[in-house]
Amino acid sequence: MTSPDDTSKAPAPAGGKAPAKDPWALPDVSDLVVGVLGGTGDQGRGLAYRLAKAGQKVIVGSRAAERARAAAEELGHGVEGADNAECARRSDIVIVAVPWDGHARTLEALRAELAGKLVVDCVNPLGFDKQGAYALTPDEGSAAQQAAALLPDSRVTAAFHHLSAVLLQDPDIAEIDTDVLVLGERRADTDIVQALAARIPGMRGVFAGRLRNAHQVESLVANLISVNRRYKAHAGLRVTDV
């Protein structure tokens, strides 16, 4: 039996090997334009508001440009609104915050616009019945893996799953006390997403593995919904000892 930090079988580093990169040495992302697909929904609006308030250039996208522009005007802080295709084209990083039932359809329609972009999927495939929320398992394994399959020319990551839309949108809350689990295939991409999360006061991005591990991260939202209902809270996550 081993623990998560068991290194007893790890090989010794080769002589002369460069020191390991500092995991907290993250890039400057302040000049990147962030698009939020589904930016008129609660989660998308909340992320757009927090990032724009932190000084990020943000464009919210919607199927209807008029609806996106109306949401952008309400959010303020220089947020712009556009239809989904324009939002994707004009952005360096695109956060996917659409409802699960429209996830595949939205991404299929934007494959060309999202080519070459860093895509951050924060969609949680959930079902609801009389017993509460429960996780769904997409054929691809997770929403993030579905995004990667539908967007072969994009760099797909997964993050921002466990955030309370209520807290994100509340202007009276100065800091969002939570960690953001970030998953992806390339360290350069996950570093960018971690740095983006850190732009929001109180928030920290933590690398949590490759996209094949996204299902349990997405599924944990069902547990957090149960926590919130029982304790009348807006629970988040903190990872200890890192």
* pLDDT tens-digit map of 75-89: 999 999 999 999 999
pLDDT of residue 5: 54
CB 90 within 8 A of CB 65: no
Task: Provide the 3-class DSSP secondary structure of residue 118.
Answer: strand
d(CA 55, CA 207): 23
Q: What is the DSSP letter of 142?
A: S
28 in any annotated domain:
no
13 in any annotated domain:
no
20 in any annotated domain:
no
181 in any annotated domain:
yes
CB 152 within 8 A of CB 168: no
Domain count, the chain: 1
Spatial CB neighbours of 106, under 8 Å, sequence gap ≥ 6: 37, 38, 84, 96, 98
d(CA 161, CA 231): 20
CB 168 within 8 A of CB 24: no
pLDDT of residue 34: 98
For the chain, give the number of residues.
Answer: 242
Q: What are phi and psi of 178, to 5 degrees?
A: -165, 160
Q: Residue 35: beta bridge partners?
A: 59, 94
pLDDT of residue 7: 44
25 in any annotated domain:
no
Spatial CB neighbours of 133, under 8 Å, sequence gap ≥ 6: 126, 127, 221, 222, 225, 226
CB 112 within 8 A of CB 89: no
Domain containing 111 — which CATH number? Answer: 3.40.50.720
d(CA 51, CA 84): 18
114 in any annotated domain:
yes
pLDDT of residue 20: 85
Spatial CB neighbours of 160, under 8 Å, sequence gap ≥ 6: 43, 47, 95, 97, 120, 122, 180, 197
Domain that holds residue 47: 33-231
8 in any annotated domain:
no
Intervals of the chain under pLDDT 70: 1-16
User: What six digits make up the tokens of 205?
Assistant: 């991005």
d(CA 200, CA 177): 10
pLDDT of residue 13: 54
pLDDT of residue 17: 79
- Of 113, 53, 50, nearest to 82 by C-alpha is 113
133 in any annotated domain:
yes
Question: Do the strands 126-129 and 118-121 form a parallel or antiparallel pair, or are they unpaired?
Answer: unpaired
